[in-house]
């Protein structure tokens, strides 16, 4: 079965994030629909947004921009260690995404567009922290053919 532009982009990000090294117990998931628990951390979750046509390069071919969001979750025994754990996860995730911005040939380019963070100290557990990393993944495909590759 052919692969859609959207699937090409999200699978490329998910595959790249699966190569993050040196973080014990790290899991990468896609499109999670239930709450994250501290027992499941560290965790990266990949979500795709709505694709849009960025520009036509040549007649019949276009660049499609697929926004992708990566949520990262960490926990730590102290609030002081929490920021370092989150920065480490973010840094390692971005490192693999920037090492090959074509995502192994799945995209023309993958780039960071936004980052936000939050901390949760209120649920009666060790502190947890989360980041939300926004990416734009550019994929080339034939106009009007969501399952095509050039």
- Give tens-digit pLDDT for 123-145: 556 778 999 999 999 888 776 66
| One-character DSSP codes across 38-56 | GGG-SEEEEEE---EEEEE
pLDDT at 78: 82
pLDDT at 77: 83
Which residue has tokens 């929490």? 82
pLDDT at 5: 77
- Give tens-digit pLDDT for 19-33: 998 888 999 999 889
Residue 25 has phi, psi (to 5 degrees) of 80, 5
pTM: 0.87
* Cβ atoms 23, 89 nearer than 8 A: yes
Domains, the chain, ranges and CATH? Answer: 5-142 (3.30.70.1700)
- Dihedral sign, CA of 9, 49, 36, 42? positive
Which residue has tokens 């995209």? 107
Taking 50 as the pLDDT cut, the residues of the chain under it are 150
């Amino acid at each position: 079965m052919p692969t859609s532009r959207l699937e090409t982009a999200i699978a490329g990000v998910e595959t790249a994030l699966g190569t993050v090294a040196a973080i014990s117990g790290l899991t990468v998931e896609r499109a999670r629909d239930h709450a994250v628990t501290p027992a499941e951390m560290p965790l990266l979750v990949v979500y795709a947004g709505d694709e849009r046509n960025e520009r036509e390069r040549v007649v019949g071919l276009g660049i499609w921009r697929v926004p992708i969001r990566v949520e990262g979750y960490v926990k730590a025994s102290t609030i002081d260690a929490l920021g370092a754990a989150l920065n480490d996860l973010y840094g390692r995730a971005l490192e693999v995404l920037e090492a090959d911005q074509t995502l192994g040939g799945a995209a023309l380019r993958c780039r960071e567009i936004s980052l936000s963070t939050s901390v949760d100290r209120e649920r009666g557990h060790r502190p947890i922290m989360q980041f939300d990393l926004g990416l734009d993944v550019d994929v080339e495909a034939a106009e009007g053919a969501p399952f095509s590759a050039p």
